[in-house]
Structure 1
Amino acid sequence: MRLVPTIRSRNSVENLNFLTVERPIISDIGLQTFSLSSLTDIFKMGKGLLFFAGVSRVRFSNVILQQQKRHFDMHSQTGPTKEEFAAVKQDLFGTLCRENIRLLQQFPLPEVTNSKVQAKRSALFTKEKEKQLREVGRIQKITVDFKNIDKFPESASLIMNKKISTPYQCAQHLGELMTERSIVAEVDGQVWDMHRPLEDNCTLRLLNMKMKDEDPYQVNRIFWRSCSLMLGAVCESAFRDHIYVELHSFPSPNVRSGSFVYDVDLKLNGWTPNSDETRLLSAEMIKLSRKNLPIERLEVDVDLASEMFKENQYKFQQIPGIAQTSNNGRTVSLYRVGDFVDISKGPMMSHTGHLNKCTITAVHHLPQAAAGQISNTLYRIQGVALPSGILLNHFAYGIIEQRGRKLNTAKIPGTVPAITSVEPTQEKVRAITSGA
C-alpha cells in the first residue's frame, strides 16, 4: 500500500497518508477544536453526524460555518474575509471527511502516543536536572585554562562555578564567534559535551569543523552521532499519532559506512516510501536544524531511565546493560533535543544548528531483525549531511547521496556485526594517512 505524503494527499481511501509534516489528526477551526479521536463519542451519542446518520457533509459544514460567522462578527468590526471562510472550510473538509474517519477505524489511536511519551520524558528530564542542580549546594569556584587551537582569541584563564558552568558558557566569555562555531569541547584531553558541567580545575579546548592543524576524527564522529540523534527526533514526530513509533537504536558512528542511521520499529508491514516521503523527512531535519536547539546531556540513575523508557520495549531492555558499562554501574547518559529524549554515551554537538545540508537517502526494511526475533517491522533509515560552514558542489554531494542509498550494514539488530563495518581506531587512521 503506497503512503502518500501530506503535500500530495488525495481524498481517496486507497491513498492513506501516514507521514505528515504537521499533525492533521487535530484541526483548529477558530476557537473550536475537532479531533478524530472524539468523533466516535459523538457518533455513540446518536447525534447523527455526517455519513453515519445520513446527514450530508455540506449540511453539517453549513452549521459550523454559521457558528463561525457569528464568532467572527462578534470579534471583528468588519466581519470575516473570504480567505478566512476558505480556511475554515478547508480545515473542516480536510479533517472531518470520510477518508479520515475510515483511517481512524482501520488504524485506531493507541493508548500511548509519541507526543504523550515525549512530553512525559521531557518533564522527567527537567525535574531531574533541577534536582541535580539543587544538590550542588554551596557554589565553589574552579579555574579553567583555555587553550585556543587558532591564533584568535588568545589563551585565557577563566574563573567558573564548579558543577554548574559548562564549556558553552566559557565560550560565551570568549566571544560570539567562538560560541557559534564550537561543536564540542576537550577537557584535560577528554572529549566533553558543550552543555555538560565542568567538575574541577581543568584545561579547556574548543573544537570545530574548520580546524586546520587538528585531526578531525573525533569531530566527524560527534557530528555523525548527533545526526542520528536528530533523525530519531524526526522519526518520533513525523508520523501520525495512530502509528506508534518505537526507536530501537543507532550504531556507533562510522564515517566510512557512508551514512548515519537509526533503526526504527514503525509497526507497518511492507512500507516502501517514495521520493516525496523521504524529502519530507529531509525537510524535517532541516527544520530541526534551523531551530538551533541545544543538545543537553544528563546522567540519571538506572531506575529513572527505566521509568522514562518503559513505553519503549527496546530501550527498556537495553538500559540495564548500558548502565553496567558506566563507572558506578548505575547511571545512564541521556540527551534531549527539544522534547525528544534518547539514550547515548555521547558526546554530541552543542546544538542542532551545526547541521547544514541533509538528505534522508533510504529506508531499508530489515528482515534480519525478524530472523533474530526482534521485529518484522523494523526499518533502517539512512541519511547523509554536511555541517554548517562546509560547502560542496551539487555533483560531489550527489555522489555522497548515491553512496548513502546503499544499505548500511553496521550492527544490524539480530545479526553479528560484520568485520567491514568496524571503524578503524584513530591511531590506525593516522598511520594510514601518514603512509606508515
Structure 2
Amino acid sequence: MDNSYLDMELLRFTTAGSVDDGKSTLIGRLLFDSKSIFEDQLEHVASSSKKRGLSHTDLALLTDGLKDEREQGITIDVAYRYFATPKRKFIIADTPGHIQYTRNMVTGASTANLALILIDARKGIVEQTCRHSFIASLLQIPHIIVCINKMDLVDYSEDVFEKIKSDYEDFAAKLDVKDIRFIPISALNGDNVVNKSEHMPWYKGSTLLYTLETIHIASDHNHIDCRFPVQTVLRPKSDEYHDYRGYAGRVAGGVFKKGDSVTVLPSGFSSVIKHIHLMNEEIEEAFAPMSIAMTLEDDIDVGRGDMIVRSGNQPTVSQDVDVMLCWFSSSEPQIRSKYTLLHTSNEVKSMVKSIHYKLDINTLHREQEFEKISLNDIIKVSLRTTKPLLHDSYRKNRSTGAIILVDETTNETVAAGMII
C-alpha cells in the first residue's frame, strides 16, 4: 500500500437532520458520484429499489446497512461509512433523524470534526434542526455545513435558500460554533454535491465534496495543553528490549518532543522524555491524535490511568466535577445515585451530588423545576468521584473533558457527559 495514502488526512463527519430530509440519499450520492461504491453494492441497491417499485436506483439504500432499515426505508442505528478521494479520507457517521435516537447522534458526533445538518428547503428550520445544531455545539464540533436540500422541489429558488440561511443564522447566534457554511443542494439529482449545479448559477460557493476535501481541520485539536493518558505499560522482557519500559496511549493534546521535561500525574514525579515511538519507528515529536509509545529517562512507577503532562501546564485534579450530561437511560438519575465513571483511560466510582437543571433543547431555557429526567434529556449535574480525575474543561479539550457513566449493576451506558 502506498504510504501517501496512509498519511492522508482523515476527516470524520456526522450527518443530522430530521426524518426524510434526505441524509441517506445525500451520503449515497456522495459515495456514488465520488466512485466509492462497489459494483455488488450497487446491484444490491438496484434490486432493492426495483422490489419497492421505484423507477430510479434509490441511493439512500446504500447507507442503510441493517436489513430492517432497507425494508422499512429508515435509518435506526449509527451507520459508519468509509470513503476516500485523492485529497482526503472520510468516515461518515450517518445518524437517525428520529427524536428517540438523539443518543445515537451523540455517539456519532463525539469524535467528529464536522457536522452536516440537512434542512428540507420546503420545510425550513424544524425542531430537529435546532436540537441537532445544539448538540453539535454542545459537543464542540468545530465546523458545521448546513445543506439546504430538495432545492429541486422549490424551483432552485435563491430566495428560499437566503430565507432559510438567515433564519438559521439568527438561531445559531445563541450557539457556540465558530465556522458555519451553507450549501444549496439536491441530493436526489446530485446538484452541488460532488458536481456543480447548472440549475443554481446564483450560488457562487463550493460544492459539498470540495468543501469537505478542503476545510481546514489540522488545528481542530488542542495543540497547546500537553496531555498523554497512559493506556498500558509495555514491558517486552525480550533479550533485545530487556530494560525497555514504555508507556503507550493516544496523545489527547499538545505536542510532546524528545527531551521535554514532563510530570506524571497523580504522583507528581517529574522526568524527561527519552524516546517516542510510532509503530516501529522512532519520531522526534508526537501530537494529538497520534497513538504512540513513550519512554522516560527515570524509572518512575507509571500505570494505566495515569497522565503524562508538561510540567508547567497541568490539568485540573479534583474529585468534584460539574458536567453536562446527555441522558441515555429510561431509569432516571437521583441524588446519591452511584455510577462507574469512565474518563480517558481511567475508571472510577462516582456519585451524583446534585442535579442543577434540565435544558429545554428548543428554547435553550434552563428548567430548575422539572418532574422527571427521561431518555435524551440534557442535564447539568455535580458528581463526586472516589479518586481524583485529571481533567480539563470539554471546551478546552474534547478528550480529557469527556466522561461516560455506566450503571454498575446492568453495565448499561446511562450517559455521556462534557465537563464544564
TM-score (norm 1): 0.22
Question: As a proportion of its length, which structure holds more helix?
Answer: 1
Give the number of the structure whose alpha-carbon radius of gyration is greater: 1
Q: Which structure is higher in strand share?
A: 2
